[in-house]
Structure 1
Amino acid sequence: MYQGRMNTGQLPGATPAIPPMFPNMLPQFGALQMMPVQAMTQQATRHARRVYVGGLPPTANEQSVATYFSHVMSAIGGNTAGPGDAVVNVYINHEKKFAFVEMRSVEEASNAMALDGIIFEGAPVKVRRPSDYNPSLAATLGPSQPNPNLNLSVVGLSPGSAGGLEGPDRIFVGGLPYYFTESQIRELLESFGPLRGFDLVKDRETGNSKGYAFCVYQDLSVTDIACGALNGIKMGDKTLTVRRANQGTTQPKPEQESVLLHAQQQIALQRFMLAAPSGAPATKVVCLTEVVNPEELKDDNDYEDIVEDMRTECAKFGTLVNVIIPRPLLDGDMAAGVGKVFLEYTDTEGATKARQGLNGRKFGGNEVLAVFYPENKFAEGDYSG
C-alpha cells in the first residue's frame, strides 16, 4: 500500500509490369521484351533514386515540386543523366506535408541531398534519404555523396550541410531535453570541433524537438572522442546517448584516452550550464521525476492517495490547475510519462516557486528532479518528454 512520503524535511507510383516467365514464347512483341527487365532495374534502384522532402507548404502539389526540383538540379549542375528534367515522379502526402521525389539516376538523387534547407515557396524544406534507403546496396549502384563541385551558391545554399550527414561517421545524439535549443546543442557538440553537418529532428506538425539529433564533424578523427565524452552525461532529467548512428557504440582507441580526458574536462562547464533545470524557459507546467514508483500507481486507492498527497503539498507554491500522474496501461505496459508527475499552475510564478521548492527534495530515498515542461505538449496530453 502507498504511504505518503512527501515532507518538507526530506512512395507510391506505377508498379512495374511483372516480367513474363517465358519471354521467348512472345516473339510477336519484338523489342518490347526488354521493357520488363528495364522495369525491374528501375524498381531495384528506386530506393536510391528517391529523396524525401519534408516541411512542404500547403500550396505544394506534384507538378510544382517536380518543376522546382528539376530547375534547381539543373541550376546547381546536379544533372548527370543527360538533357531533360532530373525528376521523373513525385508523390505528395498533403496531410503530413512531405513528398517523395524520384530522380532519373542514383547519382542525381545523391546530388539532390545537398539541397537540404532550400527555400521552396517561401519555406525551408528538409531533403533526406527515404526510410527504405539501403546504404550498402546503394553504394554498389552509384555515388552516395553529392558531387563536391555543385554550384550551391546559385540557390542560396552552402556545401556540406546535408551531404555531411551521410556515411559511417554520422553521430546519433539521443536523450536531449526537449527544451534545449539548436544553438545550445550545437555549442555542446562544437566543444570538440566544428561540425560539417547538424540536424535536430523535429515534429513535422508542431516544430518541437523530438529529443534527438544527428551530426558529423569536419575532423572525423574526433568522432569517437566526442561519443566517448558525451555518452552517459546527465542533461536535466535526461541521459545522453551518443554513438555512431550506423555502427552502435564504438570505444575510443587507447591513444585517444588522454584527449578524451581533456575533452571531458573541457565540457564540464557547459555540462553544468546546460544540465541545470533552470536553463529551461519558465512555463506554467512543472514535471517531477524520481517521485512515484509505477507499481504504486496500479491500485486505484493508492493512486488516489498519491494524487491527493501531491495536490496538497504542491498547492503550497501557487494555485494548482491540474495534477497529472500517468498510470501503467491495463495490460501492464508502460504508457508515456509513467513515473512522472505533472503540475499545472495558473501562472509561471507559481510554477517557478514549485520548481525551486521541489527540485532536490528527498522523496522515498530519491532526490526529486523538477523541470519546466512545454505547455503545448502538456495541453496535447503528450507526456513523453
Structure 2
Amino acid sequence: MTEAFLTDFLGNAMEQVGLNTKPGNPIAACRVSGKFAFIELRSPQEAANALNLNNIPCMGAYLRIGRPSKWSGTPDTHGNWEDILAKYMSGELQVGAAASSSVTTRVVELHNMLTSEDLEDENEYNEIMEDTRAECGQFGTLKSIVIPKANEPGATKIFLEYESPDDAAKAIQNLAGRTFDGRKVAAAYFDEGKFASKQFA
C-alpha cells in the first residue's frame, strides 16, 4: 500500500460522500511508516471530517483512522465509514461541497461486496462477474462491468456502467444498504471520466 495509493483512495472516499469542504482532493500529504500512515489534510475541518473514514474497507481489510496518539486537542465527535455511507445514501449527510453537488452519472460504484480473497481464484472471479451481471442487469441495460483484480487499483470494488443515468439510479436505489455475506453494501455514482480512463483507485 503506497503513499500515492492512500492519498488517492482516502481523498476519493472523502469527495464521494462530501467530507471535503471544497472541490479537489483534501489530502495535502501522506507518509507511510511500517503498519502506520500519517495523513495531513489541507484544513482543520477536513482533518476532523476524515475521522469519519474509520473502518473503511480497503484491499480486503478495514483501516483504523484516528488522531495521532500525542494529539492534545479537543476530542472529536465522529462516526465511522458505515455510518457516513448510510447517511449519505439517505440524503441526510450534507457536509462540504461534494454532498451538495453530487452529479448523476451512468456509472455506479459498489463497496463492501467483495474481499481480496474473493478475487484471487480465477473461477470464483468469473462466477462473481456472471452473478453481478445477472443481478445488476435487472435494474437496466448494463453496458459493462469492471471488477478490478486483487493486485489492481480499486480492488474489492465493483463498477457498473449502465445505458442511462435512470438505470444507474435504479441500481443505487435497489443495492444501497443491502446485506451481502454479512456486509452492508454501499452504492454511489462514479465519475464517467474516471471510469473511461480506468482511474478506479
Q: Calculate the TM-score normalised by the size of structure 1.
A: 0.36
- Structure 2 residue identity aligned to 1:252: S
Per the alignment, in what secondary structure is the counterpart of residue 193 of structure 2? helix
Aligned pair 1:306/2:137, yes or no?
no
Query: C-alpha displacement at 1:242, in angstroms?
Result: 7.7
* Equivalence for 2:42: 215
Q: Kindly report which structure 2 residues correspond to 1:113-132, keeping only aligned pairs within 5 A, or say none.
A: none
Q: Residue 297 and residue 351 in structure 1: after superposition, are their counterparts in 2 closer, same or farther (change >3 A)?
A: same
Structure 1: any 5+ residue segments left out of the alignment? 1-171, 188-199, 201-208, 217-222, 329-333
Aligned pair 1:344/2:165, yes or no?
no
Which of residues 4, 8, 11 is equivalent to 1:176? 11
Q: Residue 177 and residue 279 in structure 1: after superposition, are their counterparts in 2 closer, same or farther (change >3 A)?
A: farther
Aligned length: 165
Query: C-alpha displacement at 1:282, in angstroms?
Result: 0.9
Separation of aligned partners in 1, 2:64 and 2:49: 7
Q: Residue 272 and residue 297 in structure 1: after superposition, are their counterparts in 2 closer, same or farther (change >3 A)?
A: same
Q: Which has the larger radius of gyration?
A: 1
Per the alignment, in what secondary structure is the counterpart of residue 295 of structure 1? helix
Residues 245-300 of structure 1: per-residue CA shift (max 9 Å, x gap): xxx665234xx45xx55xx69xx999822499896311111010111122122222
Paired residues of 1:287 and 1:340 also in contact (CA < 8 A): yes
- Structure 2 residue identity aligned to 1:185: N
Separation of aligned partners in 2, 1:278 and 1:364: 32
Separation of aligned partners in 2, 1:341 and 1:274: 25
* Equivalence for 2:20: 185
* Equivalence for 2:111: 289
- Structure 1 residue identity aligned to 2:192: E
Separation of aligned partners in 2, 1:280 and 1:305: 32
Separation of aligned partners in 1, 2:148 and 2:192: 17
* Equivalence for 2:145: 323
Residues 164-210 of structure 1: per-residue CA shift (max 9 Å, x gap): xxxxxxxx9x82336839x97337xxxxxxxxxxxx6xxxxxxxx44
Paired residues of 1:358 and 1:369 also in contact (CA < 8 A): yes
Which of residues 232, 235, 238 is equivalent to 2:51? 232
Query: C-alpha displacement at 1:232, in angstroms?
Result: 2.0
* Equivalence for 2:31: none
* Equivalence for 1:375: 192
Separation of aligned partners in 2, 1:339 and 1:382: 14
Per the alignment, in what secondary structure is the counterpart of residue 339 of structure 1? coil
Separation of aligned partners in 2, 1:278 and 1:366: 27
Separation of aligned partners in 2, 1:184 and 1:365: 26
Separation of aligned partners in 1, 2:13 and 2:112: 18
Paired residues of 1:278 and 1:371 also in contact (CA < 8 A): no
Per the alignment, in what secondary structure is the counterpart of residue 159 of structure 2? strand
Separation of aligned partners in 2, 1:240 and 1:215: 20
- Structure 2 residue identity aligned to 1:175: L
- Structure 2 residue identity aligned to 1:232: L
Separation of aligned partners in 1, 2:42 and 2:146: 36
The higher-RCO structure (CA 8 Å, 6+ apart) is 2
* Equivalence for 1:252: 72
- Structure 2 residue identity aligned to 1:212: I
Separation of aligned partners in 2, 1:227 and 1:319: 38
Query: C-alpha displacement at 1:211, in angstroms?
Result: 5.7
